[in-house]
Chains A and B, each alone.
Chain A
Amino acid sequence: MGNLAIQLENLGKMYHIGHVKAPYRTLRETIIEACTAPARRMRQMFRGTAAGAADLRARFWALKDVSLEIKHGEVVGLIGRNGAGKSTLLKILSRITEPTTGIGCVYGRVGSLLEVGTGFHPELTGRENIFLNGAILGMQKSEIRRKFDQIVEFAEVEKFIDTPVKHYSSGMYLRLAFSVAAHLEPEILLVDEVLAVGDAGFQRKCMNRMQEVGQEGRTVIFVSHNMQAVTRLCDRAILLHEGKVYEDGPARQVVSNYLHSGLGLTCLREWPDINQAPGNEKVRLRAVRVKDEHGELASALDIRRPFYLEVEFDVLQSGTVVYPLLGFENEEGVTLFVTIERDPRWRRKPRPAGRYYSRVHIPGNFFAEGTILCGGALITESPYICHCHEKYLVAFQIVDAPDGSSARGDYGGNMPGVLRPMLDWQVEYLGEPQEAEAPAGQRVQ
Chain B
Amino acid sequence: MAQTAMGRELSSAAAAESLQPERTSLRRMTLLRPSKGWSALKLAEVWEYRELLYFLTWRDILVRYKQTVLGAAWAILQPLLAMVIFTIFFGRLAKIPSGGVPYSLFSYAGLVLWMFFANGLSQGANSLITNPELVKKVYFPRLVLPTATVLSGLVDFLLAFLLLIGMMFWQQQVPSVNLIWAPVFILLALVTCLGVTYWMSAMNVMFRDVRYTIPFITQLWMFGSPIVYPSTMVPEQLRALYGLNPMVGVVEGFRWAVLGTPRPELAVLAVSMLAAFLLLVGGMYYFRRVEKVFADLV
Contact A95/B30 with A51-B207, A115-B133 known, Cβ cut-off 8 Å: yes
When chains A and B are docked, how far (Å) is the Cα of A48 from the Cα of B290? 4
Say yes or no: A107-B27 contact (C-beta < 8 A), given A9-B3, A15-B296, A45-B203. yes
A386 within 8 A of B: no
A249 CB within 8 Å of chain B: no
Partner of A103, one of B33, B286, B289: B33
| Among candidates A4, A48, A115, A136, residue contacting B55 with C-beta atoms closer than 8 Å | A136
Q: At the interface, yes or no: B180 with Cβ under 8 Å from chain A?
A: no
Evaluate whether A51 and B206 lie within 8 angstroms (CB atoms) in the complex, with A4-B9, A118-B138 already known. yes
Q: Is the beta-carbon distance between B134 and A118 smaller than 8 angstroms? A: yes
Q: A15-B296, A51-B207 are in contact. Are A105 and B29 (CB under 8 A)?
A: yes
Residue of A nearest to B64 (CB): A123
A132 touching B59, Cβ below 8 Å: yes
Question: Which chain A residues lie closer than 8 Å to B29 at the CB level?
Answer: 1, 105-107
Q: Is A388 an interface residue (CB 8 A)?
A: no
Query: Contact mask A11-52 → B, CB, 8 Å, 1/0?
Result: 100010000000000000000000000000100111111110
Please tell me which one of the listed residues B6, B32, B62, B297 contacts residue A99 in the complex, with CB atoms under 8 A apart: B32
> Which residue of A67, A96, A104 contacts B31 across the interface (Cβ within 8 Å)?
A104
Per the bound structure, the CA–CA distance linking A119 and B29 in Å amounts to 27
> Beyond the given A50-B297, A115-B137, A138-B140, could you list 19 further A-B residue pairs with CB under 8 A, ordered by the A residue number?
A7-B9, A8-B32, A46-B290, A50-B293, A94-B138, A95-B30, A96-B139, A98-B32, A98-B35, A101-B34, A103-B32, A103-B33, A106-B32, A107-B30, A118-B133, A119-B138, A121-B59, A123-B63, A135-B51
Q: How many interface residues does A have (CB within 8 Å)?
A: 56
Determine how close the nearest CB of chain A comes to the CB of B271; give it in whole angstroms: 25
Chain B contact residues, CB within 8 Å of chain A: 2-3, 6, 9-10, 12-13, 16, 26-35, 51-52, 54-56, 58-59, 62-63, 66-67, 131, 133-140, 203, 206-207, 286, 289-293, 295-297
- Which residue in chain A gives the minimum CB-CB distance to B12? A1
Tell me how far the C-beta of A109 lies from the nearest C-beta in chain B, rounded to whole angstroms: 6
CB contacts (< 8 Å) of B203 on chain A: these are: 45
- State whether A96 and B136 are in contact (beta carbons under 8 Å apart), knowing that A48-B292, A91-B295 are contacts in the complex: yes
Question: With contacts A95-B30, A115-B137, A135-B52 known, is A48 near B293, CB below 8 A?
Answer: yes
Q: Contacts of A99 on B, CB cut-off 8 Å? A: 32-34
Q: Given A45-B207, A67-B2, A105-B9, answer yes or no on A51-B297 (Cβ-Cβ < 8 Å).
A: yes
Residues of A within 8 A of B2 (CB): 9, 67
Q: Is the CB of B28 within 8 A of A108?
A: yes
A46–B293 Cα distance when bound, in Å, is 12
Tell me if A112 counts as interface (CB < 8 A to partner B). Answer: yes
| Residues of chain A at the chain B interface (Cβ within 8 Å) | 1-2, 4, 7-9, 11, 15, 41, 44-51, 67, 91-110, 112, 114-115, 118-119, 121, 123-124, 128, 131-132, 135-138, 140-141, 187
Main DSSP-derived SS at the B contact region:
helix
Q: Say yes or no: A118-B137 contact (C-beta < 8 A), given A107-B28, A135-B51.
A: yes
Across the interface, do A110 and B292 meet the contact criterion of CB distance under 8 Å?
no
A-B pairs with beta carbons under 8 Å apart, 28 shown: A1-B13, A7-B6, A9-B6, A45-B206, A48-B289, A49-B293, A51-B207, A96-B136, A96-B137, A96-B295, A99-B33, A103-B33, A105-B6, A105-B10, A105-B13, A109-B27, A114-B136, A115-B133, A115-B137, A118-B133, A118-B134, A118-B137, A119-B133, A121-B63, A132-B58, A136-B52, A136-B55, A136-B138
A110 touches B27 (CB 8 A): no
Which of A96, A121, A132: most chain B CB closer than 10 A?
A: A96
Residues of A within 8 A of B293 (CB): 48-50
- The 8 Å CB contact of B138, one of A7, A114, A187, is A114
- In the complex, A98→B133 CA distance in Å? 17
Q: Looking at the complex, which one of A8, A48, A50, A95 makes contact with B139 (CB distance below 8 Å)?
A: A95
Contacts of B54 in A (CB 8 A): 135
B26: chain A residues at CB < 8 Å are 1
Which 5 pairs across A and B sit closest by C-beta, in order of nearness?
Answer: A48-B290, A104-B32, A135-B55, A51-B206, A123-B66
For B9, the chain A residues whose CB sits under 8 A away are: 1-2, 4, 7, 105
